[in-house]
Chains A and B, each alone.
Chain A
Amino acid sequence: MASIAQPSSGLGQTVRKSLPAYGFLSPWLIGLFCLTAGPVLASLYLSFTNFDLIQTPRWVGTANYERIFTNDPKFIAAMKVTFTYVLLSVPFKLAFALMLAMALNRGIQGLSIYRAIFYLPSLLGASVAIAVLWRQVFAGDGLLNAVLKWAFGYQGPSWISNPDYALYTLVSLSIWQFGSPMIIFLAGLRQIPQDMYEAASLDGAGPMRQMFKITLPLLTPVIFFNGVIQTIEAFKAFTPAFIVSEGTGGPVDSTMFYTLYLYLEGFAYLRMGYASALAWVLVVIIAFFTAFSFLSAKYWVHYDD
């Protein structure tokens, strides 16, 4: 850029003018090369090797990937669990977030208090303490069963140690944290010009029509944004499954999240080549999903211009 603006200046001057900027960028550049770019290439290489951290990596070609896709029941289990988790938790979470954002966006008194209360679980939810709490809420002698017994006289099972239910307790934990997408929805709702509603109601459009013809279409960019972010986050979920299953992904692999499987392969069994291959499969899945979302956005996301 600089050399085009000043035709007389040579390469030397461009470099000299750029030097201060590279000084400012140097921490980030070191991080980029040593902690991001280098490791990305290294992990691609490792994914084609057997590597146990002690001996030097041994090249095995595509054997790791072949095993992942043809001969790894744990991988299938992890995919099933992870996709179930993503496909259940994200839509419900966004639906709750949107409903409450709409309820709060009506000029109600005490908005900031409700907003803070609904947001709190999002802020705390990632901690081990909340995973511990969830384990106790859904235990055989836990809070849920105590409430069920007190209200209906029904003795529930141990939800957390039952392979049919364990995953759904984690889905509920994710839905409980609908606060941050709700805040983003609220900000989006505020952007919708009030006079659109006034014009619509003068034309005789009722609340339902207003919602489907004004609110939802104008909110699609925010729905899209929240959907992408929450889905990527859901694919990467780790802590709750680790704590609830005591690091095993059990019972019977029913909480074997993808990241947990990756962690166990790499750091419990020291199969680091295989774990690298698993990481690349996850990257491709997330990239594929993101690309698909952006392509589909053309058909349903409403942009002003």
Chain B
Amino acid sequence: MTTEISVAAPAAAPPSVFAGPPKGIKAILLHAILFVASLAMLYPLIWMFVSSLRPEEEIFSNPSIIPNHIDFSSYWRGWTGLRFSFGTFFWNSLVISVLSVIGNMMSCSLAAYAFTRLKFAGRDFWFALMLGTLMMPQHVVLIPQYVLFLNLGWVDTIAPLVVPKFLAVDAFFIFLMVQFFRGIPKELDEAAAMDGCGPWRIYWRIMLPLSMPVLATTAIFTFIWTWDEFFAPLVYLNDMGSYTVQLGLRAFVDSTGKSDWGALFAMSVVTLVPVLVLFVLFQRLLIEGIATTGMKR
């Protein structure tokens, strides 16, 4: 085999980087560059994690990412470092994120089903309007929405963060589901309609079970984006007992200032853990989601 290749290799084909994967020294060089780049990308993250395990006085002087001895005391100091523990913030974030996932999956799939499978007066008009809202920056509705929620008595509750998801405000996911639903053969719901299924049963028994990939993509991106959301909770949640992890971490920055970086890093790591776990479990889904839909992050 080796001889065959060595005979064929020096053939007259002009050198082209695109003629198959790089081999030999070129491949090693490419891997070396990519490895160094990966390390540079991850270095700050790893350093933060290692620093959170270091005793306080060691952190700044030490840019290395090999811990001398492991010390979890920063985590304990951080977890209970505020009036409310990070357990409260985790619970609040979890409730908001899970409800947002349910809301987006329900409301967006309902709208997407109507747009792709039902005939009705004004469909093109509403669809164009939906696409129009995709481009609109949220800042323009921020203040009237705040006034509305204030008058409803919803400020300092999770309602302003969750109710909009049940009203399909994240139109991006409607768009995503429309694209997916269009790929499901129409014969399936036509056959079901022949058997006497109404639109609701077709939606519930045929479309949704066949749409697991797009529902999963919606769920996971909604969860991560909601978990990371900072602006909306900052505006709507003032009472520390209702803080999300992002607000809790920010309050912790304000209260410790520069005095306890170990605890601050420990809590930063803790707030990243759910996203990291989802990343490890659903990496393919996330990357395919980005690649096929062009999501922003």
Contacts and interface: CB of A to CB of B under 8 A. Distances in A.
Contact of A20 (B22, B133, B198): B198
Contact of B235 (A53, A142, A239, A267): A267
Kindly name the residue among B21, B41, B138, B250 whose own CB sees the greatest number of chain A CB atoms within 10 A: B41
Interface string B250-285: 100110001001001101110110011001000100
A27 B143 contact: no
A108 B28 CA distance: 10
A136 interface: yes
B218 to A, nearest CB: 14
A262 to B, nearest CB: 6
B95 to A, nearest CB: 18
Interface stretch (B42-50, B79-87, B179-187): B42-50
Contact of A290 (B135, B258, B261): B135
14 contacts: A1-B123, A22-B114, A25-B114, A35-B167, A36-B133, A103-B33, A117-B38, A120-B45, A128-B230, A130-B268, A183-B287, A197-B19, A236-B138, A266-B146
Interface string B126-152: 100110010111111111111110100
Interface residue tally on A, bucketed by range: 35 or more
Interface of A: 1-3, 14-15, 17-18, 20-22, 24-25, 27-32, 34-36, 38-40, 42-43, 46, 53, 100, 103-104, 106-110, 114-130, 132-137, 139, 141-143, 146-147, 150, 176-177, 180, 183-184, 186-187, 194, 197-198, 200-202, 204, 206-207, 210, 225-226, 229-230, 232-233, 235-236, 238-239, 242-243, 246, 259, 262-263, 266-267, 272, 275-276, 279-280, 282-283, 286, 290
B137 to A, nearest CB: 6
B167 A118 contact: no
Nearest to B40: A176
Contacts, number: 303
A35 B169 contact: yes
A201 B228 contact: no
Contact of A147 (B37, B63, B126, B261): B63
Contacts of B166: 27
B219 interface: no
Interface residues of B, number: 105
Contacts of B290: 119, 180, 183-184
Contacts of B34: 100, 103-104, 108, 114
B235 A132 contact: no
Contacts of B38: 114, 117-118
Contacts of B111: 24-25, 27-28
Contacts of A100: 34, 37
A130 B297 CA distance: 15
Contact of B63 (A117, A122, A143, A184): A143
Give the top 3 A-B pairs by smallest Cβ distance, nearest first: A31-B167, A107-B21, A129-B268
Given A35-B164, A46-B143, A266-B142, A127 B246 contact: yes
A108 B27 contact: yes
B141 A43 contact: yes
Given A18-B119, A229-B296, 9 more contacts: A1-B123, A25-B110, A35-B167, A128-B253, A133-B48, A139-B258, A177-B297, A267-B235, A276-B143
A18 B120 contact: yes
A150 B171 CA distance: 50
Interface in B149-191: 150, 164, 166-169, 171, 174
A236 B142 CA distance: 13
Contacts of B198: 20
A187 B292 contact: yes
Contacts of A263: 231, 234-235
A24 B143 CA distance: 29
B16 A204 contact: no
Nearest to A142: B60
Contact of B297 (A31, A122, A143, A262): A122
B140 A28 contact: no
Contacts of B18: 106, 194, 197-198, 201, 207, 210
A124 to B, nearest CB: 6
Nearest to B224: A123
B14 interface: yes
B6 interface: no
B230 A239 contact: yes
Contacts of B62: 146
B277 to A, nearest CB: 12
A35 B123 contact: no
Contacts of A246: 253-254
Contact of A128 (B203, B246, B261): B246
Kindly name the residue among A114, A123, A135, A150 whose own CB sees the greatest number of chain B CB atoms within 10 A: A123
A198 B22 CA distance: 15
Nearest to B20: A107
Contacts of B224: 123
Contacts of A24: 110-111, 113-114, 118, 199, 203
B271 A129 contact: yes
